[in-house]
Structure formats: C-alpha cells, structure tokens
Amino acid sequence: HQFLSNWQFNRKYKLPPVVPGWPLLGNALSMPFPAGMWGVEMAKKYGEMYTCYFGGKPYVFLNSSRVVNVLMEKRAAIYSSRPERPMTQGIMSGGARMLLMPHTNRWRNQRKIMHSILNGRSAETIFVPYQELEVKQLLYDLLKDPENFHVCNQRFSNSVITRVVFGRRSGLHDKQLKDILDLVEILGQYLFHPLKNLPDVFPWLHSLPKPLQWWRRGAEEYFNKARDLYKAEFDAFEKKLKSGTARPCFAAELVAGAEKKEFILDETEKLFVFSTLLEAGSDTSRNAITQSIAAMATNPGWVKKARRLLDEVCGENAERLPSLADRKRLPYMNAVVKEVLRWRPFIQTGVPHMLEKDDEYEGYRFPAGTQFAWNAYAIALNENDYKDPVAFNPDRFMDADLNSPLKGHWSFGTGRRVCVGYNVGANNIWLAVACLLYCFDVTEDPDHPIDTFNTVWDVHKDAPFKARIKPRSQAHVDLILNASKEALASDY
C-alpha cells in the first residue's frame, strides 16, 4: 500500500531536489539548530530550491529572492497558511497564537486587531513618544553597563511594547522580561528544530492514549506558565483601571472595545493577543540592535559614513540626540535598518508557510500541504542576490525602494503573513542604531573576534559575542546624562 501510494504521489507531483534523509524521520536528524549555515550549504549543493521531508511531509526551502517573490509573495492567496501544529499551537498556545494560525477567519480577525494597534497613525502617534523615551534609557544603560549590551537592548524593546500594551515601563532586571524571553526561546526551539518536536512532526502521535503522550505534561506546563504570566500582567492592569491609576494603553482599549462588543475574544485568545504582542515586540528588535553592534565592530566603513551624516544633522559636539523626526534628513539610516535586517537574518531559515492548493511552477508540481520557507541565510549570502553579500554595506539599499522597509530583504516575512509589526520594528531599530552610532565607539575585542556566521544571535541569558562600547567623548557622556534624566525619573 505504501509503495502504491508513493508511486501515485510520484506520478502526480514533482518536487525540487530532495535532500536524502532517513525513513520515517526524513531530514529531522540532519537539520541542526540554528540551521542558517546548514541552509547555505544545502543551497550550494542543491540549487535554487530543495526539498526536505519531516514526518513524511514535504518542506521546500527557497534559496533566491526570485523564487520567494514568485511563490510566497505573488501567489500569497494560496501560500499563506500554516501547518497543523498540535503541540506548539494546540497544547502550548491553547490554539490561540496568531503567528501559528492557519489562513482562517479567526486569523483574519486577529490580524485586523493587530493591524489597528501597530500600523497606520498609531505606529507614529502612539509608539514614537515611548521609543524616544526608552532610547534615552538605553543610552544610559549602555553607558553604565556596556558589557551587558544584550540586556540593555532587551529592556529597550520590551519596555516600548509593554508601555503601549499595559501602560507600564520595564526595568533591566524585571522577571517578566526574562520569563518572556525564556518562553520565546523554548517556542523557537520547538518551531525550528524538528527533532525536538516530534509531536508536531507526527501529528498522529496525538491520537495515542493520553498517558502515553510523554510530551503532554511539559507542553501543558508551558501553556500554564504563559497564561499565568499574561494573566498576572492583565490583573495588575485591571487593578489600576479600577483605582483610576491606569495609563491610556492598548489593554484599556481592549477592555472598552470588548464592553462595546466591537469584537469577541475569549479569555485564552485575549491573553494570547497580549502574548503575541509582548513576545514579538520584545524578541525581535532586541536581536536586530544587538546585530548592529556586531556590524559596527566588524565593518567600520559604514560607521564612518553614518557618523558623518548624523553629525551633520545633530552636531559634531554632541549638540543633540538623533530622533525619529530626523528620518527625512537621514535617508542613509533607512538603508542601515534594511542592511541590519538583511545581513545575518536571525530567523535563520525563515518561517514556513503552507500551500493550500496544488500548484505548479517551472516544471514542478507541488501538493497542497507542502510547506515553503524563504531560506534566510542562504538568500542573504547568495551572490546572485547581493553583491559582496558578506559585507555590511547599507549603500546597497540606497535605491528607489529606500523608504519601503519591507523591500529588498525577507526578514519581515512575505505575502499575507508578512510581519504586522514591521513599522514599529523598523522604527525601534532606526532610533536605537542612530543613537548608538552618534554616542558610542564600538570595536571588536581582539581576544574575542566575532564569528558573524555562526553566532547564535537570539540567546538571551549571555551576550552572544563580546564587543567594546565606549562613549565618543565627554560631551557625548554629558549629553546622555542630561537626556536620560526624564527617563530615569519616569518610574511607572
């Protein structure tokens, strides 16, 4: 029977070159975590597309912008679902995590809510003042504790989104921040390391009697931990709301909207809207800012250029900090943001989308249910896509698409699933990197050279690499101390 169905499958479908794997487990054993450089190697060996099998299902890696653009972008109407994930979505997220939802009305509903919070006018009017406040705290923290730059960047990103969602700021040593990053780290390993997550690779395992489901207890503990974390945060907010001390924020709007029946979210969905916002908001720009530090230390050329342009606008003697109001006058910084995202994409092999209907392309015939991902490292390091791809060179983005943060790289994803927080993310990076460049000299520690290919960017307990971060001059120190006074005094 198996032979016959394989035979039928092969008559009907034709997939790009298949990476040899093992019976049953397919390629789960050979795909490391993180898989960026493995993806580069496979792309060199197999070409523009290759296929892996996980749990008997095909997963196609797309290794050039050309094919991502045709399939995931232009044909987004049928390339925008997500595979069934009974472990990470089912048990660990109570079925309510938007990122993992299939292409359904439930997803559309959540996407609308997210869009209204994160985009349009609100990205500018609501987020920008907090980004401007938090960046001053970031500079102060980097001045005081440069070795822990990773924690300073974590706090900055987390505090912006926590302020918008719950109306409170976060501190460097907040337990909530560490708990969020722990949760994301575990989820990331399950999502991107098939061997660690057999219950999603083989969804039929979930029909085993419950006592035999060895993963269930751990997964339920994960769900409870996440739920308790966001529930505690929401309860604390509601207390403030009742006592009249809550600040205007998204949670307040959500409560008001729910009372007016503008939308319906059950309890778990509500908590996972918070989880999605706080986790996506905390865990992405912090990596990008950290990577910009690696780029400054290893590629001094662009730093000189960016610095000269920043000095022209803000003064050579630490007259004032760069601000998002300077975006029009500092187009080069838009290119910097895009290059930070392109250079060594920290979501190293992309996020898989699932094809909803059989499809054909250049002689291949893909069955519905095939997963497709932009192979992020492989594309970023592909010489046909980028000239001298290894170098950090923002000038490559000084083109007609300069002001479109989504164009020219895939780090925000693609098609209908493209990151809904990209404006907030791009502004976080723009502001933090502009201020860092303006105030600090960043150099490599000769005893600890940075391996920009194999560094695991998203570790959060320790710094992923070492770098020396020193203020440019006493005038810059004074500027930071002065500018951060308001942030240091705003303790809420």
Question: Which residue positions form the known binding site for heme?
Answer: 419
Terminal C-alpha separation, the chain: 65
Neighbours of 362 (CB within 10 A): 9
For β-strands 440-444 and 467-471, DSSP reports them as antiparallel
Instruction: Count Cα atoms within 13 angstroms, Cβ side, for 192.
Output: 22
Binding residue for ligand HEM (CB under 6 A) from 412, 430, 438, 440? 412
Distance of CA 165 to the CA centre of its chain: 18
* Shortest Cβ 470–ligand HEM spacing (Å): 26
* Shortest Cβ 71–ligand HEM spacing (Å): 12
The torsion angles phi and psi of 412, rounded to 5 degrees, stand at -95, 10
**Residue whose CB is less far from ligand HEM, 286 or 476:** 286
Three-class SS of residue 359? Answer: strand
* Shortest Cβ 268–ligand HEM spacing (Å): 16
Binding residue for ligand HEM (CB under 6 A) from 246, 347, 433, 435? 347
Binding residue for ligand HEM (CB under 6 A) from 37, 241, 418, 475? 418
286 binds ligand HEM (CB under 6 A): no
**Residues 427-446 close enough to bind ligand HEM by CB under 6 A:** 429
Q: Taking the CA atoms of 220, 226, 228 and 231 in sequence, report the sign of the dihedral they define.
A: negative
337 binds ligand HEM (CB under 6 A): no
78 binds ligand HEM (CB under 6 A): no
Three-class SS of residue 64? Answer: coil
| Binding site feature residues | 419
424 binds ligand HEM (CB under 6 A): yes
**Residue whose CB is less far from ligand HEM, 215 or 374:** 374
Tokens 């029909």 found at: 207
* Shortest Cβ 465–ligand HEM spacing (Å): 19
Binding residue for ligand HEM (CB under 6 A) from 71, 251, 314, 351? 351
**Residue whose CB is less far from ligand HEM, 114 or 252:** 114
Instruction: Count Cα atoms within 13 angstroms, Cβ side, for 158.
Output: 24
For β-strands 364-366 and 371-374, DSSP reports them as unpaired
Helices 331-343 and 300-314, axial angle in degrees (round to 10) = 150
Q: Give me the amino acid identity at 456.
A: V
**Residues 171-200 close enough to bind ligand HEM by CB under 6 A:** none
Enclosing H/E stretch for 329: none
Give the contact letters, 137-166, x = binds to ligand HEM (CB under 6 A), - = no: ------------------------x-----
Binding residue for ligand HEM (CB under 6 A) from 36, 55, 281, 322? 281
- Max Cα separation, the chain? 77
Can you give the binding site for ligand HEM, defined by CB under 6 A? 98-99, 111, 114, 118, 161, 276-277, 280-281, 284-285, 288, 341, 347, 351, 353, 411-414, 417-421, 424-425, 429
